[in-house]
């Protein structure tokens, strides 16, 4: 039985949609440490309220029409969805701070609750703020019973946040011999796809797309054992043309070391239903359209799908034969999922 105060608080949380969360995140960002500033925006892109509401309303339809693949239920990732945060190491303290807040009904704005809970953790506010916002958003989507389960032990590298930021900015080291033998266009750069694992990286030649470079890893085929979507390297791929959206990624650092987003990619993000922040170097990209010119640290989302199909359900059967290719919903061909 959920206590009345906790029930009221969760109902309060569930009145917040993606626009409301976007406003809260924008207000919090200046006070979040740089080490987790991109991570906060990436997490909310990966786990939108819209997806949660779709699954709650009609999961079968969401799976079918939106072509959902991967692990799209946040309830199955309560303690792990935020592993790419530096603040992940503080998750047990943040969890307890949020649970304490549920002992009384909501009494102020959600942003104020987040800031107060972050202070209760005893962690430096700029390091606790981002992961605390994630905790409230997680509670909103998974409910109290799932949220309050004990987290597993967290093993984090004993690195200062300033060191992590500096390491992300560090230019790619090249030996003198390497510089003499290679022209600028043949330089290689390190692409990290899991900062918690030193081995989780691949090399990209200047001018390569991220998916192409990832697919050339010596053990590229092995990733399929962990995630069936990963048929060629750690980044899930399918069409390699920007049409399907399978290869979407989040950027923790180095977005300026990728090509500026093109109008085509902007259009595809909108057609698929992924967020775009309006900048020339956004932190949500399609891996097959992201061309490397420097070091990048990225995050791979646990799912992919065509969320835009929820608002404009796909036509089926003969109906597609009367439509132009531009009118056919993403992922469908003559009424059938590709």
Q: Are strands 248-253 and 303-304 parallel, antiparallel or unpaired?
A: unpaired
The answer to whether residue 210 scores a pLDDT higher than 80 is: yes
At residue 338, the pLDDT reads: 46
Pair (107, 186) in one structural domain: no
Q: Give the pLDDT mean for 291-319.
A: 87
Which of 147, 162, 196 is a domain's end point?
147
Do the domain assignments include residue 239?
yes
Rounded mean pLDDT of the chain?
91
Question: Biggest alpha carbon distance in the chain?
Answer: 70
Same domain, 9 and 107: yes
Q: How many domains does the chain have?
A: 2
Whether 227 and 265 share a structural domain = yes
Q: Which residue has the tokens 């605390």?
A: 132
pLDDT given for residue 1 in this prediction: 55
- Tell me: pLDDT of 332 over 90: no
Domain assignment present for residue 322? The answer is: no
Are residues 261 and 210 located together in one domain of the fold? yes
Each residue's pLDDT tens digit, 41-62 = 999 999 999 999 999 999 999 9
Domain of 65 in residue numbering reads as 4-147
Let me know whether 51 and 100 are in one domain: yes
Query: Rounded to an integer, what distance in angstroms lies between the CA atom of residue 334 and that of residue 338?
Result: 9
First-residue to last-residue Cα distance in the chain: 44
Together in a domain, 298 and 177: yes
- For residue 233, give the nearest of 248, 247, 216, 249 by alpha carbon: 216
Same domain, 10 and 131: yes
Cα gap 312→65, rounded to integer Å = 9
pLDDT average, residue stretch 169-191: 74
How confident is residue 187, by pLDDT bands cut at 50, 70 and 90? Answer: confident
The reply to whether 178 and 140 lie within a common domain is no
Q: Is 175 in the same domain as 143?
A: no
pTM of the model: 0.90
**28 and 125, same domain (yes or no):** yes
Phi, psi (degrees; rounded to nearest 5) at 283: -95, -5
Would you say residue 288 has pLDDT above 60?
yes
Question: Do 114 and 194 have their domain in common?
Answer: no
Rounded to an integer, the average pLDDT of 3-12 is 93
Pairing, β 296-299 against β 188-192:
parallel
Indicate whether 323 belongs to any domain.
no
Look at residue 123 in the predicted model and tell me its pLDDT. 97
26 and 130 both lie in a single domain: yes
> How does pLDDT run across 121-175, given as a tens digit for each residue?
999 999 999 999 999 999 999 999 999 999 999 988 889 999 999 999 998 876 6
Angle at 129 between CA 127 and CA 131, to 5 degrees: 85
């Amino acid at each position: 039985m959920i206590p009345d105060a906790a029930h009221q608080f969760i109902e309060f949380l569930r009145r917040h949609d993606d626009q409301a969360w976007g406003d809260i995140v924008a207000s919090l960002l200046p006070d979040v440490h740089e080490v987790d500033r991109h991570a906060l925006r990436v997490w909310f892109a990966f786990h939108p309220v819209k997806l949660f509401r779709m699954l709650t309303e009609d999961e079968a339809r969401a799976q079918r029409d939106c072509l959902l693949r991967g692990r799209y239920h946040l309830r199955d990732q309560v303690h792990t969805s935020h592993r790419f945060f530096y603040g992940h190491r503080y998750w047990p303290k943040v969890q307890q701070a949020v649970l304490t807040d549920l002992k009384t009904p909501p009494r102020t704005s959600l942003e104020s609750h987040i800031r107060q809970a972050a202070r209760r953790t005893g962690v430096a506010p700029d390091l606790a703020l981002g992961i605390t916002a994630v905790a409230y958003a997680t509670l909103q989507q998974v409910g109290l019973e799932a949220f309050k389960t004990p987290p597993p032990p967290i093993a984090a590298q004993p690195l200062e946040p300033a060191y992590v930021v500096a390491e992300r900015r560090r230019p790619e080291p090249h030996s003198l011999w390497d510089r003499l033998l290679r022209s600028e266009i043949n330089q290689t750069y390190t692409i990290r796809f899991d900062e918690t694992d030193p081995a989780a990286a691949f090399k990209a030649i200047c001018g390569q797309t991220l998916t192409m470079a990832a697919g050339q890893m010596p053990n590229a085929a092995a990733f399929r054992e962990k995630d069936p979507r990963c048929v060629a390297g750690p980044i899930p791929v399918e069409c390699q043309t920007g049409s399907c959206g399978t290869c979407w990624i989040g950027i923790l650092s180095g977005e300026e070391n990728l090509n500026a987003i093109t109008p085509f990619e902007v259009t595809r993000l909108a057609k698929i239903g992924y967020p775009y922040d309006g900048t020339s170097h956004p932190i949500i990209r399609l891996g097959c359209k992201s061309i490397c010119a420097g070091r990048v640290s990225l995050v791979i989302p646990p799912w992919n799908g065509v969320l835009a199909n929820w608002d404009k359900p796909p036509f089926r059967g003969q109906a597609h034969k009367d439509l132009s290719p531009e009118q056919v919903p993403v992922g469908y061909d003559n009424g059938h999922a590709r």
